[in-house]
Amino acid sequence: MPSTKAVDLAAHPLTAWQGPLSLPDFTRIGDDDFSPVFDAALKAHEAEIEAIAGNKDAPTVENTLQALELGGEALDRVSSIFWCRAGAYTNETIQALERDISPKMSRHFSAISMNERLFARIDDLYQRRESLKLDAETLRVLEKTWKGFVRSGAKLDADGKKRLAKISEDLSSLGTTFGQNVLADERDWALFLDEADLAGLPDFLKSSMAEAAEMRGQKGRYAVTLSRSIYEPFSTFSERRDLREIAFRAFTMRGQNGGATDNSSVVRDMLKLRAEKAKLLGYGSFAALKLDDTMAKTPKAVHALLDPVWEKALEKAAADQTELQRLATEAGSNEKFAAWDWRFYQEKLRAEKFAFDEAELKPYLQLDRIIEACFDVATKLFGITFEEKQGIAIWHPDARVFVVKNADGSERGLFLADYFARPSKRSGAWMSALKSGYKLGHGSKPVIYNVMNFAKPPAGEPALLSVDEAKTLFHEFGHALHGMLTDVTWPSVSGTSVSRDFVELPSQLYEHWLTVPAVLEKHALHVKTGKPMPKALLDKMLAARTFGAGFATVEFTASALIDMAYHARPDAPEAPLRFEAETLEKLDMPDTIAMRHRTPHFGHVFSGDGYSAGYYSYMWSEVLDADAFAAFEETGDPFNPALAERLRKNIYAAGGSKDPEELYTAFRGKMPSPDAMMVKRGLV
């Protein structure tokens, strides 16, 4: 029920940001504030839309397109804070609100998309676009806006519009339910251990597990949780095969445990609704609908990338498994080699081949040093600097605030970061924005944030990262740079507002700088001695970069192929989990490797539809990022100033202001082939 409480949007802390550095004043925001402010902000936005749609003057870019882009500021502000909280620091009140607000927002935006008078004004501008003498960015925004209305049902008849709005609302609710179910399974499961159960575990992992147990009221014990930052190293180092199996089964069965948090029917219903939506809009499948506005364009083009990679990955994984089986046999194991053995023996094989293990690297990868490395690379490439501001309260005490400055000392925006796992945070790592950056109207400086799930060390101890976690930090910071360096006029093409298979380029490309020797020499300093990583260890680490490529590529590509299999069909499978199993069988998926994301917890694809029919895009972007970093390698200077400026201008600053192929070609001179990516992964 709508709140009857009157809200002054011009003064409320959720919409009038009057805290330090013009951030929201989080100390004045309570959980109960969201509902009435959402209601007032939705109403205010409806009034703005009505004013645009009902304008008696002929449509112009200013009174229609610009008014539409700048409308809904209060709604944008309360939404950005709410969805940040829902992901990074939730509770029962926030989750209940999420279930209420998701369908409400869906209804609101469906009504805008299907507003006939509003679309008539957009359509009028679109039909006259050639004669309006628009600059390239404005023309692109107009074309994208028009197409967005059409893809949202603006041309459907009344019954079609009504049905599409209901589908969108139901999908929104189901996506919320899916994500909350996974979070509940992750939050509620822990395997509590005692000192006698810790054989093989390095000290950094014991510390993290002790902290996780204490957070769950079991001080003095050790907890295996379903956070990757604990689950993966536990699977890698624990000598207790029985415990590795328990953890593996819990991790892979998230969202599929029966009862209230089981996602089987949620997925079935979502796939049915997506197939119906595609048909209603005139597409042969949901994948065809989603890919229409990407670089790939069609499922056939996606398979042209994924299928050859899959074959190479299977060959590599099979060869690796033979080696792992040998190690298991030599260690006296008579058990059939299983999925919970892979990480354990792969680490043994790494030690045998390269004479080091992950535990040796950890003391050199301190969280604060890797953050400094991220900033240092950004300064060298793009001239921006970062200054931490202490004592500013944002959504959680662990979250940190940095002012971002241009080379001339002027303020560019803010970067916020929340690094540690907790039960109130959904798993994974992501980038988002409290505000995007653009020049239209009064303009806006970006306020960008990163959220991670690193294991929190006991008080007073530094947090240590694995190589994969350090890469994740660089990856998400690459997304953050895409948001912070944006230099566009229109909000709708700002920062990461690009096609799904282009958005991972800035993030995946940035990962390459982590392993530039000069960066590691400066920032990979031992936690106790302060000495840089020895050259011999650094050389071994760099030599081992493609180690385990078979496993990593199979677990990723299986997830991408399943995503495409679900969504490239004209209809939905009746039993999605049976379909998952049958599809994997046809693909000859090894039973010793699990998908990186199984269907019941595949949040990329089912917590909303952000990466639905789009999980392939990480690999599509990887083709681009491997080729893009090769451009720097070809010059012999990973910080080549001329190339860095081209990279800033055409990739990090351009947002969605131009076609992605045009932007990439402006940077590199040509589009790439998948060869550099295959080499980078160690598959050829």
Catalytic residues: 476
Name the phi and psi angles at 85, rounded to 5: -60, -40
- DSSP state for residue 656 in the 8-state scheme: T
Q: What is the enclosing helix (H) or strand (E) of 652?
A: none
**Whole-number Å distance between alpha carbons of 431 and 425:** 14
- The sign of the CA dihedral 243, 248, 251, 257 is negative
Q: How many Å apart are CA 446 and CA 441, to the nearest integer?
A: 15
Q: Write 97-101 long-range contacts (CB < 8 A, 24+).
A: 97/31, 97/34, 97/35, 98/176, 98/180, 99/173, 99/176, 99/177, 99/180, 100/35, 101/34, 101/35, 101/38
Do the beta carbons of residue 389 and residue 20 sit within 8 Å? yes
Q: What is the C-alpha separation between 209 and 478, in angstroms, rounded? A: 29
Instruction: State which amino acid sits at residue 233.
Output: P
At residue 175's C-alpha, the angle toward residues 171 and 176, to 5°, is 120
CA Rg value for the chain: 25
Count CB-CB contacts under 10 A for residue 249. 11
**Token couple for 449:** 């944030």
Is residue 375 classed as helix, strand or coil in its secondary structure? helix
d(CA 76, CA 42): 10
CA distance 194 to 222: 6
For residue 157 the two structure tokens come to: 């008849």
SS3 39: helix
Number of H helices, E strands in the chain: 27, 7
Per residue, the 3-state secondary structure of 226-271, as one string, reads CCHHHHHHHHHHCCCHHHHHHHHHHHHCCCCCCHHHCCHHHHHHHH
Pairwise CA distance, residues 234 & 242, whole Å: 12
DSSP codes, 168-221: HHHHHHHHHHHHHHHHHHHHH--EEE-GGG-TT--HHHHHHHHHHHHHTT-TTS
Instruction: Decide: 485 and 496 in contact? Cβ < 8 Å.
Output: no
CB-based contacts of 68: which residues, under 8 Å, 6+ apart? Answer: 49, 52, 118, 122, 145
CB atoms within 10 A of CB 681: 23
Structure tokens belonging to residue 517: 């020797």
Instruction: Annotate 569-631 with three-state secondary structure.
Output: CCCCCCCHHHHHHHHHHHCCCCCCCCCCCCHHHCHHHHCCCCCCCCCCHHHHHHHHHHHHHHH
In whole angstroms, how far apart are CA 542 and each of 175, 216, 545?
40, 38, 5
